[in-house]
Structure 1
Amino acid sequence: MALDKVVKDIIDSARREAGALIERAEEEKKAILGESEEQISKMRKAQEKELEDTLKRLRRQEISSAELEAKKIVLNKKKEILDRTFEEALSELSAMPSNDKTRVYRKCIDAAKTVIPRPNVYCPRGDSALLNGVQGLGTINETDIEAGLILENEDGSVRLDYRFRNILEGIWEQELKEVSEILFG
């Protein structure tokens, strides 16, 4: 029977050791699972933060893009209004009454005479009568040009363009900021 007791003691000892091993394995398993859960939680939080940051960045980009597009639309509309205003001003200049146009033509000729003493004059068809009585001119030629005058010296080497479009463009460029302020505040 002593052998049975030894066998029983060995089996009991093995069971205790197995129980202790199983208990330690369970504790290690809990620790590993705890660490894994902690790592998973950290990874999840990091991914959520990265996703949130990405979404914020995308929102900012979309807002910036939309604001830029809105500014483009506003600027294009402002340009259309400015262009239309320019064309309306040019139309009004071109359609001004004859006595006003004569006065403007004479001022252009007086200004040109400081550069060209006896200019040849090119004017729109039907406008040569407005220059009757102006002293110190070369030839007066009616041609197909926009309202205004082109003045040229005898040999054609100096030419001054006083067409209303060119005059208005010069003024327009100088005064564009003020015109924009008046139109758009």
Structure 2
Amino acid sequence: MALDNVVGQILDSANKEAEKLIQEAEKEKAAILQQADENIAAKKKAQEKELELALARLRQQEMSSAELEAKRVVLNAKKAALDEAFQETLKELNSISSTERAKVYGKIITKAQSVIPNPKVYCPKGDAALLGNAMGVRAVIEKDMEPGLILESEDGTISLDYRFKTVLEGVWEKELKNVSNILFG
């Protein structure tokens, strides 16, 4: 019987030791699982934060892109309006009466003679009669060209382009900001 007692005690001791090891293993398992859950939660939170930041950046990029596109559309519309205003102004200049055109031509020649004395004058076909007997003009030559005059020195080294379109382009370029402010405020 003593042997049975010893075997029983050994078994009891082994069972207690096994129970103790199982409990420690369960505690370690719980600690590992808790640490894993905490790591997962931390990574999830970090990813959510990163996603929020990425979404905010994307939203900002989309807003900036939309604002830029809106500005481009407005600028294109303004440019179209300015181009139309230029064309309308040019059309009005080109269609002034013969009497007005003759007056304008006279003023052009008077102004140009301070730079080119006795100039050769090129004018659109049919406009030579409007120059009449302009004083100080060497020759009047009609050619296919836009309304206005081109004046040239005797040796051909100096040429002044006073075609209406050229003059309007110069004024337009110089006054574009003012014209834009008048049209668009």
Report if TM-score (shorter chain) is over 0.5: yes
Give me the whole-angstrom Cα distance separating, in 1, the residues matched to 2:125 and 2:107: 20
Per-residue CA deviation, residues 90-129 of structure 1 (Å, 9 max, x unaligned), is: 0100101122212211121111101111011000111111
Look up the match of 1:148: 148
Is 1:73 matched with 2:41? no
Give me the whole-angstrom Cα distance separating, in 1, the residues matched to 2:23 and 2:139: 120
Regions of 4+ moved over 4 Å:
none
Look up the equivalent residue of 2:99 and give its one-letter code.
N
Look up the match of 2:125: 125
Give me the whole-angstrom Cα distance separating, in 1, the residues matched to 2:132 and 2:33: 107
Look up the match of 1:85: 85
Look up the match of 1:21: 21
Stretches of structure 1 lacking an aligned partner (at least 5 in a row): none
CA root-mean-square deviation: 0.9
Stretches of structure 2 lacking an aligned partner (at least 5 in a row): none
Give me the whole-angstrom Cα distance separating, in 1, the residues matched to 2:111 and 2:26: 106
Query: TM-score, normalization: structure 2?
Result: 0.97
Look up the match of 1:170: 170
Paired-residue identity, %: 58
Look up the equivalent residue of 1:145 and give its one-letter code.
M
Give me the whole-angstrom Cα distance separating, in 1, the residues matched to 2:15 and 2:107: 122
Give me the whole-angstrom Cα distance separating, in 2, the residues matched to 1:104 and 1:15: 122
Q: CA deviation at 1:155?
A: 1.8
Look up the equivalent residue of 1:180 and give its one-letter code.
S
Query: TM-score, normalization: structure 1?
Result: 0.97
Give me the whole-angstrom Cα distance separating, in 2, the residues matched to 1:83 and 1:162: 21
Look up the match of 1:4: 4
SS in 2 for 1:117: coil
Look up the equivalent residue of 2:36 and give its one-letter code.
S
Q: CA deviation at 1:73?
A: 1.3
Give me the whole-angstrom Cα distance separating, in 2, the residues matched to 1:103 and 1:9: 135
Q: CA deviation at 1:133?
A: 2.8
